[in-house]
Amino acid sequence: MTPHTRGGVSGATDGGAGTTWVAPPGKPPLSARMMRATWRGLPAKRYEAGWEPDLEVPAADGSLLRTDHYFPRAEGDFPTLLVRSPYGRGVPWSPMYGVLFAEQGFHVVLQSCRGTGGSGGEFHFWRNEAADGRATVDWLRDRPWFNGALGTLGPSYLGYVQWALALDPPPELRAMVVQVGLHDPHALFHRGGALQLENALLVGSGMTSQHRGFGPFLRATLWLRRHFAEMTRALPLRGSYVRGFGGEVPWLDEVMSHPDAGDPFWQGASTGGAAATSRVPTCLIGGWHDALVDQTLEQYGRLRRAGCDTSLLVGPWTHTSALQKGWPEVFAESLAWLRAHLCDDPSGLRPAGVRVHIGGQGHWRDLAEWPPASAVGQWFPAGDGRLIRQPSEATVPLAAFRYDPADPTPSIGGPLLSPAAGSRDNGDLEGRPDVLTFTSEPMNEPMDVLGPVAARLRISTDTGYADVFARLCDVDEKGRSVNVCDGLVRLPTTPAHPLEVTVPMSSTAHRFAPGHRVRLQLSGGAHPRFARNSGSGEPTLDATTLTPVRITVHGGSALELPQVRAER
């Protein structure tokens, strides 16, 4: 590690260059200070924040990366946080990361990724982040205020750039905080063989507009909403986004056009391997209705197997609400981790390595690890719509429905990137003729389900082309059905006889209270969350023919729930 003479507001001298850094007098931007004033329930600030905007950091290829520097206005030896974003450096990033963490005693380097927010070069979803992150650390080493202690921080794609840097971590990197974070772009756009259409459009719109400022982002969001239905129902689907976006987005075309994770196109895209060998203490934060919760849990498992110091917090949040309603908990968790590993102050750490919110009950549970030890309970669909504990005969058809892609089964709530995510009343959805439900008797005692949920189904179709969407729901005493977790798989081309298929339904931490019932919901899709299966066998983006399909569920199917002892 390169030694430096450190400093806060007063001049600080770099021993090698002999230069002195004098903190500029500017306050953080007014928009950041106004948003900062609206937050409640956060720790008291320790320092006033200063701001040094529009610094130019040379990227790996010499392109200039626009960078803002926030700092505490005080004498002292302060560590540095690196926050790299493709979404610009204004609201909400400037107050949430620049101002708040500078007030707590950190230098914060907030940087626009190449091709965004005024930075040079051309943006690509994954090819440049590792090299540009290393180039930024090289630049930091020559700053007179850099004391050699570095942490990284941020949500969503701001998590991806952290994992990219951690593939070959610099020696100064001592802590990471990945909030509702991404590491596998393929899994963001494709799941179970189907295109996650809504995710793709939201990411495309955000990536092309948000870094230009709030006004352009708001106009793009309203324009997308106006044209969303026609974009998602167009035949063919390829290029249908252009009108809503106001132009072509080549990288979006590419990621939508390559559904196979093994395609050479995706080589080098996933940064998940960073966790498999990491020694950088890492705090992971997720939400049960976040579109990236599976990625958060995957990385937690890799870090644990690698013996890395890690913590996990999963709340009752969506991708967006984690940084809104959940921000007091997310900020406190992040701050405690960074102070422990960058400031040698572990006083804010909780004793348990894992804390999860239990849905249906509204309380938190501390655990030694995730998932906890559990017994897999099996619940079996019956021909009369019940969900029972005894398996039915494997050769017996239980129920069937007709899926028509011209009137696709709609998506309601669930793990999305949009504000429409989360638990929703599924009553109208379950009233459709193309949705099957299998429901248990009321629970006599509480049942806690913690861990990965799956549906093991025996399915046949009359055309061979279909998707199966499976959802776990909690039905209360009044009959209100609320989604807990779900998943979808595209069936391989199937003959008429039953095929056994497993539908991974993500993970959850949920309590079924006494008097509530367990429900398994099955359908042929969830549109526009997933692009509809045309039923014709044509590629998703190029299909022009819509063919209905009859889907039959057979005996021998089962819902698998990881059950643990319910705490009082």
Q: Which tens digit of pLDDT belongs to each residue from 402-425? A: 999 999 999 999 999 988 999 999
Residue 218's pLDDT is what?
A: 73
CA distance 285 to 85: 18
10: confidence class by pLDDT, cuts 50, 70, 90 = very low
Work out how many domains the chain is built from and give that number. 4
Higher-scoring residue by pLDDT: 40, 296: 296
Segment 129-140 mean pLDDT? 97
In a domain, 469, yes or no: yes
Map residue 81 onto helix, strand or coil.
strand
Higher-scoring residue by pLDDT: 56, 497: 56
Residue 30's pLDDT is what?
A: 87
In a domain, 363, yes or no: no
Residue 397's pLDDT is what?
A: 93
Lowest mean pLDDT among 11-25, 26-40, 204-218: 11-25
The residues, any chain, with a CB within 8 Å of residue 288's CB and separated by 6 or more, are: 314, 315, 316, 317, 357, 359, 415, 485, 508, 509
> Nearest CA to 547 among 231, 253, 235?
235
Neighbour count for residue 461 (Cβ, 10 Å):
23
Residue 380's pLDDT is what?
A: 97
Residue 222's pLDDT is what?
A: 76
Q: What burial letters (b/e) apply to 536-552, b meaning 16+ CB within 10 Å?
A: eeeebbebeebbebebb
Does the N-terminal peptide bond of residue 562 adopt cis geometry, omega within 30 degrees of 0?
no
Residue 1's pLDDT is what?
A: 35
246 and 391 housed in the same domain: no
317 and 231 housed in the same domain: no
In a domain, 2, yes or no: no
> In which domain, by residue range, is 414 found?
375-564
207 and 178 housed in the same domain: no
CA distance 13 to 24: 15
Segment 106-126 mean pLDDT? 94
The dihedral sign for the CA sequence 28, 32, 37, 39: negative
411 and 500 housed in the same domain: yes
Domain boundary among 238, 265, 292: 265
392 and 416 housed in the same domain: yes
In a domain, 440, yes or no: yes
- pTM score: 0.94
Residue 246's pLDDT is what?
A: 77
Digit-coded pLDDT (tens) for 533-544: 999 999 999 999
The whole-chain average pLDDT of the chain stands at: 92
DSSP 30-65: HHHHHHHTT--SPPPPSS-EEEEEEEEEE-TTSPEE
Map residue 100 onto helix, strand or coil.
helix
Segment 478-498 mean pLDDT? 89
Digit-coded pLDDT (tens) for 279-294: 999 999 999 999 999 9
Instruction: Report CA-CA distances (Å) from 61 to 137, 305, 532.
Output: 15, 36, 41
Digit-coded pLDDT (tens) for 415-465: 999 889 999 999 999 999 999 999 999 999 999 999 999 999 999 999 989
Residue given tokens 């708001």 in the structure block:
218
Higher-scoring residue by pLDDT: 534, 224: 534
Percent of the chain with pLDDT over 70: 96
State both tokens at 495: 């003959």
Angle between helices 197-209 and 214-233 (to 10 degrees): 150
In a domain, 15, yes or no: no
Which phi and psi (to 5°) does residue 416 adopt? -120, 170
Residue 244's pLDDT is what?
A: 78
Map residue 366 onto helix, strand or coil.
strand
The CATH number covering residue 476 comes to: 2.60.120.260
Does the N-terminal peptide bond of residue 381 adopt cis geometry, omega within 30 degrees of 0?
no
Do 392 and 383 touch, CB atoms closer than 8 A?
A: yes
State both tokens at 251: 């990288």
Residue 5's pLDDT is what?
A: 35
Do 211 and 112 touch, CB atoms closer than 8 A?
A: yes
Residue 16's pLDDT is what?
A: 37
CA distance 159 to 157: 5
Higher-scoring residue by pLDDT: 271, 247: 271
379 and 469 housed in the same domain: yes
Digit-coded pLDDT (tens) for 537-568: 999 999 999 999 999 999 999 999 999 988 76
21: confidence class by pLDDT, cuts 50, 70, 90 = confident
Segment 195-213 mean pLDDT? 85
**Is residue 14's pLDDT more than 50?**
no
Map residue 492 onto helix, strand or coil.
coil
DSSP summary character for residue 465 = -
227 and 302 housed in the same domain: no
Domain boundary among 219, 250, 265: 265
50 and 162 housed in the same domain: no
The CATH number covering residue 323 comes to: 3.40.50.1820
Residue given tokens 């102070």 in the structure block:
339
Residue 452's pLDDT is what?
A: 98
166 and 312 housed in the same domain: yes
Digit-coded pLDDT (tens) for 323-351: 999 999 999 999 999 999 999 999 999 99
Do 422 and 537 touch, CB atoms closer than 8 A?
A: no
157 and 223 housed in the same domain: no
In a domain, 125, yes or no: yes
219: confidence class by pLDDT, cuts 50, 70, 90 = confident
Neighbour count for residue 351 (Cβ, 10 Å):
6
Neighbour count for residue 184 (Cβ, 10 Å):
21
162 and 282 housed in the same domain: yes
How many H-runs (helices) and E-runs (strands) does the chain carry?
14, 24
Higher-scoring residue by pLDDT: 219, 239: 239
494: confidence class by pLDDT, cuts 50, 70, 90 = low
State both tokens at 294: 């599976």
In a domain, 8, yes or no: no
CA distance 314 to 160: 18
Digit-coded pLDDT (tens) for 357-389: 999 988 999 999 999 998 999 999 999 999 999
Q: Which residue type is seen at 71?
A: F
**Is residue 94's pLDDT more than 70?**
yes
335 and 438 housed in the same domain: no
State both tokens at 151: 């942490």
Do 74 and 9 touch, CB atoms closer than 8 A?
A: yes
In a domain, 366, yes or no: no
The residues, any chain, with a CB within 8 Å of residue 97's CB and separated by 6 or more, are: 81, 83, 108, 110, 153, 154
**The pairing of beta strand 481-490 with beta strand 467-475:** antiparallel
Domain boundary among 315, 350, 385: 350
